[in-house]
Amino acid sequence: MEGKKSLKRATHSKNEVTELLRYLAQNCVTKTDLAEIVPGLVKPIISAEIKASEQRMMDHTTRECAKVRGDLVIAARQQDEKTNEVIRLAEKKKLFSSSESQNLQSINPLRLPT
């Protein structure tokens, strides 16, 4: 087992452990008995851990997607600013009329939120 990551174990109080050991001793619970009982107890615990892991992965994925989306919005806005500046310069040099310049600047293919 060396080199493998150990599973996170639940912590129990000294009284809980003592109570469990006393119950096992008083009821003569054998390894065979435990082998029959434990799978029924362990399965819900494992199922809960799997669900919690899935939720953590979904939360992480959602956060990462939001970051990427934000980066894309920033890049698109910067590109829009550059394009608008080029249009203004072209209008100053009389390559476009004022109405043509306004029409070009009103085009917003990505329709980004403000």
Nearest residue to 87 via CA among 111, 112, 108, 114: 108
| Cβ atoms 83, 96 nearer than 8 A | no
pLDDT at 63: 96
Please report, for the chain, the start and end positions of each structural domain, with discontinuous segments joined by +: 23-106
pLDDT profile of the chain (114 residues), mean per 10: 51 79 82 74 76 93 95 89 88 88 78 58
Q: What is the pTM of this model?
A: 0.48
pLDDT at 1: 41
pLDDT at 64: 96
What span, in angstroms and rounded, lies between the C-alpha atoms of 24 and 87? 83
